[in-house]
């Protein structure tokens, strides 16, 4: 029988696998690439300006692709539309294929120039 502890361990492993992916940057590397200091990047993540993910050890990781236009231009609007600045929630939304986008992920749709459509979908509230 699976316990809560087992579920937490599986979640931590999944989290650590995602932040270890090739498209992720450490906070220090993201700062070096963007020319923005680490404290400012951390503040931006708290405000939904960028996506920062914590691994199970509390270290922050940022998807490199978010700093490329048009994603960079859409992130803050998307965070506001979804009503969250939680990096894991934003990442899950961006990486989950949606039927309303013909099965493409919101990230791919934004990269194809459909940022306004994605933001409108994120605003949808039943």
The domain spans of the chain are 4-123
Q: Which residue has the higher pLDDT, 15 or 81?
A: 81
Q: Per-residue pLDDT for 126 more than 70?
A: no
pLDDT of 114 reads: 97
Q: Are the beta carbons of 105 and 98 closer than 8 angstroms?
A: yes
pLDDT of 125 reads: 57
> How do residues 51-69 score in pLDDT, each as one tens digit?
999 988 889 999 999 999 9
Q: Are the beta carbons of 74 and 119 closer than 8 angstroms?
A: yes
pLDDT of 86 reads: 95
Mean pLDDT of 67-84: 95
Q: How far apart are CA 83 and CA 80, in angstroms?
A: 5
Of the listed ranges 43-52, 60-69, 100-109, 116-125, the least confidently predicted one is 116-125
Report the 10 Å Cβ neighbour count for 119: 17
């Amino acid at each position: 029988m699976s316990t809560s502890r087992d579920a937490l361990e599986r979640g931590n492993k999944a989290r650590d696998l995602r932040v270890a992916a090739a498209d992720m940057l450490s906070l220090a590397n993201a700062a070096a690439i963007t020319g923005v200091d680490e404290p400012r990047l951390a503040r931006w993540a708290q405000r939904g300006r960028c996506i920062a993910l914590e691994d199970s050890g509390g270290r922050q990781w940022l998807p490199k692709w978010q700093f490329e236009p048009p994603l960079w231009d859409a992130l803050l609007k998307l965070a506001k539309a979804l009503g969250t600045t939680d990096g894991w929630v934003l990442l899950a939304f961006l990486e989950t294929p949606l039927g309303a986008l013909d099965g493409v992920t919101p990230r791919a749709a934004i990269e194809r120039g459909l940022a306004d459509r994605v933001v409108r979908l994120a605003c949808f509230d039943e």
